[in-house]
């Protein structure tokens, strides 16, 4: 485990370093406050021994700065000082230090105190791990493990914002399994689920790393394509359609012929539609594709979709 030694006294620093290395710590040295602060920008540095008196910025100030920052993991801090009056110890701990030791340091004691620090860090790591798992669980669809609707809308609004800033188009493809209800009715829901999982796995293989794929509802799948204009989105849509419909899907019961239809919509560089309205536009194009006879992809704004809108008007 890495540990920072921030001490302006080279003798004390050297003794600390030697002991810590004997206990298998990887040491990082700083001779003044600003250098300590600089070193602590490394997120893998979770343990720090700070001398109170240091040039530039003292240990207490470094401590306060560490506690004020938000995004970082917890840094366990032991403050060292020759000051051994009660009020100094209280002031040191109040600045945010976890522990306080007077100099010269007793090394057996330091070793034991560092074990406490590691325990705290281990606890935080466990918590963060579980928090990440929960976050992932809350952002994914339970059946297909792709992003859920809330997550995909959040991602789309971020991408639309970024596209507007960077003057790049963002596209959406709304996909739907053709006659999914019939598949469910004919083969049963378990087979329907298996088919949907296969559809998703075929789709995932065909999208770029930067694209995001999510389950919008029932058998509706949404793909968000950052930095993708109307011409590219059409070809991606076609590629996805062929990837799914090209061959039958094997389920436990039977090999099922499955095709999908797709509706595409693009927010061009200048436009600023809301995520919901862009999805709605893609959804209308999807309806047009269904009307056209399914197993096809339609891009919003092309002839056929307009005809449909006129019919609806």
Residues that bind another protein (CB under 8 A): 8-12, 14-15, 18-19, 22, 51, 53, 55, 82, 103-107
Shortest Å, Cβ 111 to another protein: 12
Q: What is the DSSP letter of 160?
A: H
Closest separation in Å from C-beta 76 to another protein = 23
CB of 105 to another protein, least distance (A): 8
C-alpha to C-alpha distances, 75 to 8, 40, 43, nearest whole angstrom: 20, 9, 9
Is the distance from CB of 284 to CB of 296 less than 8 angstroms? no
Q: Which is nearer to another protein, 51 or 141 (CB)?
A: 51
Nearer to another protein, 9 or 124 (CB): 9
Give the torsion sign (CA, 194, 197, 203, 206).
negative
CB-nearer residue toward another protein: 54 or 233: 54
Residue ranges of E strands in the chain: 2-6, 26-30, 47-51, 76-81, 99-102, 170-177, 212-217, 220-226, 249-250, 255-256, 260-267, 297-299
Q: Which is nearer to another protein, 103 or 292 (by Cβ)? A: 103
CB of 14 to another protein, least distance (A): 6
CB of 80 to another protein, least distance (A): 9
For every residue of 169-237, DSSP letters joined together read -EEEEEEEETTHHHHHHHH-HHHHHHHHHHHHHHHHHHS-TT-EEEEEETTEEEEEEET--HHHHHHHH
In the complex with another protein, which residue's Cβ is closer, 9 or 232? Answer: 9
Least Å distance, CB 55 to another protein, is 7
- Return the DSSP state at 97: -
Q: Beta partners for 176?
A: 220, 261
Nearer to another protein, 16 or 223 (CB): 16
């Amino acid at each position: 485990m890495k540990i920072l030694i921030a001490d302006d006294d080279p003798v004390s620093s050297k003794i600390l370093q030697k002991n810590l290395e004997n206990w298998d710590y990887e040491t990082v040295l700083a001779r003044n406050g600003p250098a300590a602060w600089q070193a602590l920008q490394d997120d893998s540095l979770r343990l720090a021994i700070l001398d109170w008196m240091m040039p530039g910025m003292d240990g207490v100030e470094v401590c306060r700065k560490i506690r004020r920052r938000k995004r970082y993991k917890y840094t366990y801090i032991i403050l060292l000082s020759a000051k051994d009056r009660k009020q100094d110890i209280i002031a040191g701990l109040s600045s945010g230090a976890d522990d306080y030791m007077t100099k010269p340091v007793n090394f057996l004691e330091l070793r034991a105190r560092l074990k406490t620090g590691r325990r705290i860090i281990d606890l935080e790591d466990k918590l963060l791990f579980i928090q990440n798992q929960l976050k992932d669980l809350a952002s994914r669809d339970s059946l297909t493990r792709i992003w859920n609707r809330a997550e995909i809308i959040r991602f789309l609004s971020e991408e639309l914002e970024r596209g507007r800033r960077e003057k790049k188009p963002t596209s959406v493809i709304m996909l739907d399994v053709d006659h999914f209800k019939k598949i469910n009715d004919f083969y049963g829901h378990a087979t329907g689920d298996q088919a949907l999982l296969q559809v998703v796995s075929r789709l995932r293989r065909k999208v770029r790393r930067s694209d995001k794929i999510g389950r919008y509802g029932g058998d509706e799948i949404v793909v968000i394509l950052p930095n993708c204009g109307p011409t590219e989105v059409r070809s991606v849509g076609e590629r996805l359609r062929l990837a799914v419909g090209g061959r039958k899907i094997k389920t436990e019961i039977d090999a099922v012929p499955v095709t999908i239809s797709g509706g595409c919509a693009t927010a061009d560089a200048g436009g600023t539609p809301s995520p919901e309205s862009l999805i709605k536009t893609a959804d209308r194009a999807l309806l047009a594709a269904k009307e056209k006879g399914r197993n096809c992809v339609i891009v919003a704004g092309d002839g056929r979709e307009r005809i449909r809108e006129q019919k609806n008007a």
